[in-house]
Amino acid sequence: MDQSLRELYQEVILDHSRHPRHFGALENATHKAEGYNPLCGDRVTVMVMLDGEGRVADIKFQGKGCAISQASASLMTEMLAGRTRAEAEKLMEGFLHLAKGEEAPGLSPDDREYLDVMSGISEFPMRVKCATLAWHTFKNAVEEGKNAMDEGVT
Amino acid sequence: MTAAAKIVPAFDAQKARGDFPILSRQVYGKPLVYLDSGASAQKPHKVLQAMTQFAETDYANVHRGVHYLSAAATDAYEAARRTVQKFLGAAREDEIVFTKGGTEAINLVSYGFLAPRIQPGDEIVLSVMEHHSNIVPWHFLRERQGAVLKWVDVRDDGSLDIEALGAAIGPRTKLVAITHMSNVLGTVTPLKDIVARAHAKAVPVLADGCQGAVHEIIDVQALDIDFYALTGHKIYGPTGIGALYAKRAHLKTMRPFNGGGEMIREVTQDIVTYADPPSRFEAGTPPIIEAVGMAAAIDYLMAFDRAAVKAHEHDLLTYARERLRDFNWLRVIGDAPGKGAIISFEAEGMHAHDLATILDREGVAVRAGHHCAQPLMERFGVASTSRASFALYNNRADVDALVAALAKAREILG
């Protein structure tokens, strides 16, 4: 069996995709955006509640998609809860580097280790967009609640 | 042709496979199993050679110069038109308009034929299994001119509800736009019956032949169809070339689509008059090498006993259907009687893109996604499907490889 496939679809990823964390509607969301991948029709809605200090007090997502997009969204919500917007942006930047198979010097060792399960995606360039959909959607949500669809974010 | 009967060789799939250089390559160290011909078919050596040879010996712009090569290129280009004419069974060569593909052919009908005839509230009848290329040009007329799209459903097995189609054609219907063969379901539509029902109400019919032309034998005169759209790259020819068949009477009334060189009779500072069809619809330098390539592809295809090719493809479909039955976690979508060699399926607990990624690493190329047929996806309540489509070069070993790869996908994702 192809080792890179095993890495991509490792148990942690499959577990997140089958049992996504923070899945569902978020009442009292202060920010919300929908992301859409026109290639596969996958959609994800990210709902965020930012507190007075701009910290992610709560975050949830909904949607349907492939194992990669679901797992990535689930992992993302776990990681972003409790972070400030600046921290969240740094994380996202690091994740986008990892997804492209690049070094991510801005990530703390803990975050780097946590995100490592997703780094196998870099071997599958056609699928990188699946992994980044939720992250782009989060970014659009917290940036003035823009709709990711309008941005052509894929 | 002499009195001696034309000898048609029986179809030898294994030999035909050898005509396609790409099929001997490997991907990820595994033999390529190409099951995505519905998206684009591979090209036989003969087609590539015809294009190269033409470019190396006879190439120049067409219909323009007086020099030797200009005449040679024009001859080749017009010979290609006659090849398409024969392929479709058209009465006249000037009923064939070269386009850059099937999409442009349909857009040409939308802009050149239908748009000037549409008043707000006029209707266009189409099926839910159309490809976006046979939907969006009609949406344009809805957006811009208030046309109404009348959708005809398919039955649960994917067959066209012909009674519903007949009933959908009303006094305000201006066109029936229907696929010849669904790119997702494989359903082949009864064009003759559709044309008869539409013509009974004086409504013209356009068939999207992008999938159908390579599998079905077409005779536009016998069908009495008004428009038939064709694309080169799905009939083993190059990309960038297609054709529209349109009845001469329609072509004469159609307004030009693109303006430019070649499509005019006279241009002054004040007025412009247009060339006769088909030139009127071929503005600019056409895809000349590609036209030669498409003709070579048609020649390649027509040299086979097409009924034998169809039987071969049908055998693969039946075999695949049989083998896939072993997987109770797999749901095949589209089982219409007489369907063509396309099999779409949804796998329980597996997204089409995850599945296609795993299949890909096994060397198996399938299409995954909505197949540019989102209304159909909605009809069957799926976001996307995986699709294996068969061509004349496929064999049972390809099906076996698909089945083995699916089992692996199940092992990884299941």
| Residue B297 and residue B312 share a domain | no
Catalytic residue IDs of B: 372
Indicate the helix (H) or strand (E) that contains B164: helix B162-168
Same domain (yes/no): B116, B181: yes
Q: Whole domain around residue B344: which residue ranges? A: 13-37+305-413
| CB atoms A1 and B368 under 8 Å | no
Asked whether residue B2 is domain-assigned, the answer is no
Last residue of a domain, one of B236, B269, B302: B302
Cα distance between residue B279 and residue B263, in whole Å:
5
Q: Which residue of B has its CA nearest to A18?
A: B349
In a domain? residue B3: no
Q: What is the CATH number of the domain that holds A120?
A: 3.90.1010.10
Q: B264 and B282: one domain?
A: yes
How far apart are alpha carbons B414 and B411 in whole angstroms?
6
**Which residues does chain B have within 8 Å of residue A130's beta carbon, measured at their own beta carbons?**
353
Q: In chain A, how many domains are there? A: 1
Residue A151: its pLDDT value, please? 42
Mutate which: A1, A5, A13, A39, vs B, most B CBs within 10 A: A5
Tell me, yes or no, whether A101 lies in a domain: yes
Q: How many domains does chain B have?
A: 2
- Residue A115 C-alpha, separation from nearest chain B C-alpha, in angstroms: 20
Do B31 and B178 fall within a single domain? Answer: no
Based on the fold, state whether residues B210 and B345 are members of the same structural domain: no
Q: Are B317 and B341 in a shared domain?
A: yes
Q: Phi, psi (5° rounding) for residue B177? A: -115, 115
Res A144: pLDDT:
66
Residue A28 lies in a domain: yes
Q: Are B351 and A66 in contact (CB < 8 Å)? A: yes
- The per-residue pLDDT for range A2-57, each reduced to its tens digit, is 788 888 999 999 999 999 999 999 999 999 999 998 877 788 999 999 998 889 99
Structure tokens at B410: 């199940």
Q: Which of B350, B351, B362 sits opposite A65 (nearest CB)?
A: B351
ipTM more than 0.95?
no
Question: Beta strand B227-231 with B205-208: parallel, antiparallel or unpaired?
Answer: parallel
Question: Which of B166, B163, B180 minimizes the C-alpha distance to B223?
Answer: B180
CB contact under 8 A, A40 and B384: yes
Cβ–Cβ under 8 Å, residues B269 and B249: no
Q: Based on the domain organization, do B296 and B380 belong to the same domain?
A: no
CATH code (residue B197): 3.40.640.10
Do B298 and B311 lie in one domain? The reply is no
In this prediction, what percent of chain A has a pLDDT beyond 90? 62
Provide the pLDDT for residue A1. Answer: 59
Residue B56 maps to a domain: yes
User: Which residue, of B269, B302, B335, is where some domain finishes?
Assistant: B302
State residue B9's pLDDT score.
54
- Residue A25 in contact with partner chain B when CB distance is under 8 A: no
Domain of residue A63: give its range.
3-142
Contact at CB, B354 and A6, closer than 8 angstroms = no
Q: Is B162 exposed, middle or buried (0-12, 13-18, 19+ CB in 10 A)?
A: middle
The single-letter code of the amino acid at A8 is L
B294 and B311 in a single domain? The answer is no
Q: Does B384 sit within 8 Å of A41, measured CB to CB?
A: yes
The Cα–Cα gap between B388 and B352 comes to 12
Are A20 and A112 a contacting pair, CB within 8 Å?
no
Q: Is B298:B237 a contact under the CB 8 Å cutoff?
A: yes
Residue pLDDT tens, chain B, 414 long: 444 555 555 789 999 999 999 999 999 999 999 999 999 999 999 999 999 999 999 999 998 788 999 999 999 999 999 999 999 999 999 999 999 999 999 999 999 999 999 999 999 999 999 999 999 999 999 999 999 999 999 999 999 999 999 999 999 999 999 999 999 999 999 999 999 999 999 999 999 999 999 999 999 999 999 999 999 999 999 999 999 999 999 999 999 999 999 899 999 999 999 999 999 999 999 999 999 999 999 999 999 999 999 999 999 999 999 999 999 999 999 999 999 999 999 999 899 999 999 999 999 999 998 899 999 999 998 888 999 999 999 999 999 999 999 999 999 987
Instruction: Examine residue A148 and state whether it is found in any structural domain, yes or no.
Output: no
Query: Residue A154 pLDDT > 60, yes or no?
Result: no
**Statement to judge: residues B373 and B276 lie in one domain:** no
CATH number at residue B347: 3.90.1150.10
From the list A71, A91, A69, the residue with the least C-alpha distance to A79 is A91
